[in-house]
Amino acid sequence: MMGKGVKVSFKVWLEYEGRPIIGVGGVKLLKLVDNTGSISKAAEEMGVSYKFAWSYIKSIEESLGVRIVKTYRGGKGGGFTKLTERGKKLVNFYDELLNNFHQIAKIFEDKSGKILDK
């Protein structure tokens, strides 16, 4: 019964002009920024420093040449940070891509059982 327990594994990240841009951790960070309204809260939840999170976001923006977060300053209750429309599109694109990879992996895991089982 070789096919039992066969699992298709993969890692998905996006590259731009040959350089890695974002992967599962970066997408998680962006979602947390959008949900919490704060880079520092998102960084804390992920167990990384604010400086790391900010630098990571800035490197994505510089690589792509677009803003993916917008910071709103001050006012009653303080400022907050949200994803821009491009930032949301990037996250949605990655999620759709990852979902498709999971579907393909499931198909081939099922297929491996038919091929490898005795």
Q: Which two tokens stand for residue 99?
A: 């979902």
Question: Which parts of the chain have pLDDT scores under 70?
Answer: 1-4, 75, 77, 116-118
**Strand bridging mode 19-23 / 13-16:** antiparallel
Q: In CATH terms, is domain 20-112 a member of 1.10.10.10?
A: yes
d(CA 94, CA 57): 15
Checking 95-98 for CB contacts under 8 A at 24+ apart, the result is 95/27, 97/12, 97/14, 98/12, 98/24
Encode 14-32 in three state secondary structure: EEECCEEEEEHHHHHHHHH
pLDDT at 81: 96
Write out pLDDT tens, residues 92-103: 999 999 999 999
pTM: 0.85
Element (H, E) at 45: helix 39-46
Task: Please name the residues in contact with 61: beta carbons below 8 A apart, sequence gap of 6 or more.
Answer: 67, 68, 69
User: What are the residue ranges spanned by the domains of the chain?
Assistant: 20-112
